Structure 1
């Protein structure tokens, strides 16, 4: 897996519609290449399965994934293993004026973690948002998810004040989250 961001190799978001192969992680021999592409409507059942596998009790309900796809399909990227299984996704929701965006979901299956795939997904979505003129991107992260926090910080995200970004009970009682923010320089 190269550490080079995918946006370096893509000239326009339309190129995502053509599969872009990513090498399989070395820890998964014989599993073939992953393809980073925009989500398709036919991916919805598999996206639901993947979301439940990774997020368990905080997974999106199927109807909401459907509506998120309808609203943000251009900012819904998946990692496809070529055999009908999705291994990761990133989803960004953007305001009508494209100035503000939220990362609404980032996940990679357990067997594909620690190989830079989350970074590749984030790098590509941030490139798409930057080219669209988005000025700032926010996300939430569970305070105990140190690996995700390190990834987001390495990409330039910082905790949004007050209280170092901590929002108690953000998703309900006991479900605290940090809010992190990235200022994108100048858009396209």
Structure 2
């Protein structure tokens, strides 16, 4: 799985230096998507997207609000140009141990298998590396083979013991694999 080159441009005043990326469409009639940092006014749309993709295990609206307040620099969205979100990635960080967790990654059904999840992950990992984060963890449902292949392709490995499998991680019957990526310093 390879990613296409991205074109950079600024949406905000130059002093903010917040890059955005226009993702070139992979289908002839598709609209380009903009990969950018989430804004406060994205929260209703972010909640809609999270519910659409994750359904009964979607984050409650108040929790998405709090995660935005805490981790706004590491909440990236795919915007179709009209403000409608087509995907997001969220990383929670702590400076205490230079660690981070990927708390959410999603792309809407009709945009999957186009490398967009990879694009989101590459961008958030670059930002985390630039902030001095040394290790990133995430959990994934053991049956989600597409996500596991994506994460393994980015260098994530199962965190031992037991090949990363954590039984009942999110409660009875909600097993997860814990994967880890050691980041090399930016430079």
TM-score by length of 1: 0.89
Residues 74 and 90 of structure 1: is their aligned pair in 2 closer, same or farther, counting only changes over 3 Å? same
Residue in 2 that maps onto 1:149:
148
Q: Write the distance in 2 (CA, Å) between the matches of 1:140 and 1:5.
A: 28
Conserved? CA contact 1:5–1:120, under 8 Å: no
What SS is found at the alignment partner of 1:47?
A: helix
The corresponding residue for 1:35 is 34
Aligned length: 180
Shift of 1:84: 2.4
Aligned to 1:22: 23
State the structure with bigger RCO (CA 8 A, min sep 6), 1 or 2: 1
**SS of match in other structure, 1:119:** helix
C-alpha distance after superposition, 1:46-71 (max 9, x if no partner)? 00000011111111000000000000
Which residue is equivalent to 2:3?
A: 3
User: Deviating runs (4+, > 3 A) in structure 1?
Assistant: none
Superimposed CA distance per residue, residues 129-172 of structure 1 (whole angstroms, 9 cap, x where no aligned partner): 11111110000000000000000000000000011101111111
Secondary structure, counterpart of 1:139 in structure 2? strand
Alignment CA distance shift 1:112-1:98 (3 Å): farther
1:109 aligns with 2:108: yes
Aligned residues of 1:48 and 1:65 also touching (Cα < 8 A): yes
Residue 30 of structure 1 aligns to a residue whose secondary structure is coil
**TM-aligned CA distance change 1:86 to 1:98, over 3 Å:** farther
Pairwise CA RMSD of aligned residues? Answer: 2.0
Equivalent residue for 1:168?
Answer: 167
1:59 paired residue number: 58
**Mind listing any 5+ residue stretches in structure 1 that lack a counterpart?**
none
Q: Which residue of 1 aligns with 2:13?
A: none
SS in 1 for 2:91: strand
Q: Is 1:87 the equivalent of 2:125?
A: no
Match of residue 158 from structure 2: 159
